């Protein structure tokens, strides 16, 4: 009788522990998922000739590759806050496209200054379905701390925020947009972003024309 009871308790404990062990084994590693993505981006930058690219086609290539590991919809949702819930699917899609274009010119366009810096993976922290991968961008003399905040979507860790030297990209835009939304509502915000994108496009064209005079 005691032997039978012992076996039952052992089996019960096994089935209680098994899901935890299985989950731990199956959960993907965010750093390992990021590494091939980073290598792909670095390869594009290494072979890129921004001087012969006035329309920043390389920027578009980088955006396309970034979609493999960045969730621009989640980023858009977070920068808009409560306003996101008021939008229909078409409006959300349009805003995500517009916000991605803003990032393309405001950040990715500046990658033309890339001079062979390396990405060093430092550490990672995982809490449930959220993770932070801490990296360092270094040229051997100076380094910049860059952290990627990620959300587990299915079996993929997707980036929804980037923290550079302690400054969150999402929080930065969220604060800017909050003030505009308060004064000019959603339509006013869209108009301002469209103007900013156009301005950044023109500035890039002017820099290109000046370099090639």
Q: Which residues constitute the domain of residue 96?
A: 27-211
Residue ranges with strand state E in the chain:
118-127, 130-138, 143-153, 156-164, 167-168
| Structural domain includes residue 21 | no
Residue closest to 36 by CA, chosen among 147, 121, 131: 121
Q: In this structure, what CATH number is given to the domain that contains residue 49?
A: 3.10.450.710
Q: In the numeric block, which tokens belong to residue 199?
A: 């301005």
Whole-angstrom distance, CA of residue 103 vs CA of residue 141: 27
Residue 181 domain flag = yes
Return the pLDDT at 145: 92
Assess if residue 2 is contained within a domain.
no
Q: Name, in order, each residue with C-beta under 8 angstroms of 148's C-beta and a sequence gap of 6 or more.
A: 34, 132, 133, 135, 159, 161, 162, 163
Q: What pLDDT sits at residue 6?
A: 39
Burial class (CB in 10 A: 0-12, 13-18, 19+), 101: buried
Instruction: Decide: 124 and 108 in contact? Cβ < 8 Å.
Output: no
pLDDT tens digit at each of 213 positions of the chain? 544 443 344 434 333 343 444 444 567 999 999 999 999 988 888 877 766 666 677 778 888 899 999 999 999 999 999 999 999 999 999 999 999 999 988 877 667 666 778 999 999 999 999 999 999 988 888 888 999 999 999 999 999 999 999 999 999 999 999 999 999 999 999 999 999 999 988 887 777 666 555
Is residue 18, in this structure, part of any structural domain at all? no
Residue 56 lies in a domain: yes
Q: How many domains does the chain have?
A: 1
CA triple 190-192-197, angle to 5 deg? 95
Check residue 188 and give its pLDDT.
97
Tokens coding 178: 């909050």
Is residue 205 a part of any domain in this protein?
yes
Cβ within 8 Å of residue 191, ≥6 positions away: 184
pTM of the model: 0.80
Does residue 151 form part of some domain?
Answer: yes
Residue 22 lies in a domain: no
């Amino acid at each position: 009788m005691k032997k039978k009871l012992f076996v039952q308790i052992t089996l019960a404990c096994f089935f209680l522990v098994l899901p935890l062990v299985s989950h731990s084994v199956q959960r993907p590693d965010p750093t390992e998922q990021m590494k091939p993505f980073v290598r792909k981006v670095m390869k594009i930058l290494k072979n890129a000739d921004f001087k012969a690219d006035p329309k920043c086609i390389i920027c578009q290539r980088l955006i396309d590759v970034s979609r493999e590991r960045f969730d621009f919809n989640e980023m858009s949702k977070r920068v808009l806050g409560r306003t996101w819930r008021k939008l229909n699917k078409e409006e959300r899609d349009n805003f995500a496209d517009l916000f991605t274009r803003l990032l393309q010119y405001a950040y990715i366009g500046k990658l033309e200054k890339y001079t062979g810096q390396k990405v060093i993976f430092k550490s990672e922290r995982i809490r449930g379905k959220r993770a932070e991968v801490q990296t360092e961008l270094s040229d051997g003399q100076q380094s910049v701390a860059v952290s990627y905040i990620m959300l587990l979507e299915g079996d993929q860790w997707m980036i929804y925020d980037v923290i550079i030297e302690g400054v969150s990209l999402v929080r930065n835009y969220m604060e800017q947009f909050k003030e505009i939304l308060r004064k000019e509502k959603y339509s006013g915000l869209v108009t301002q972003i469209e103007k900013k994108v156009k301005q950044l496009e023109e500035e890039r064209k002017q820099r290109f024309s000046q370099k090639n005079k």
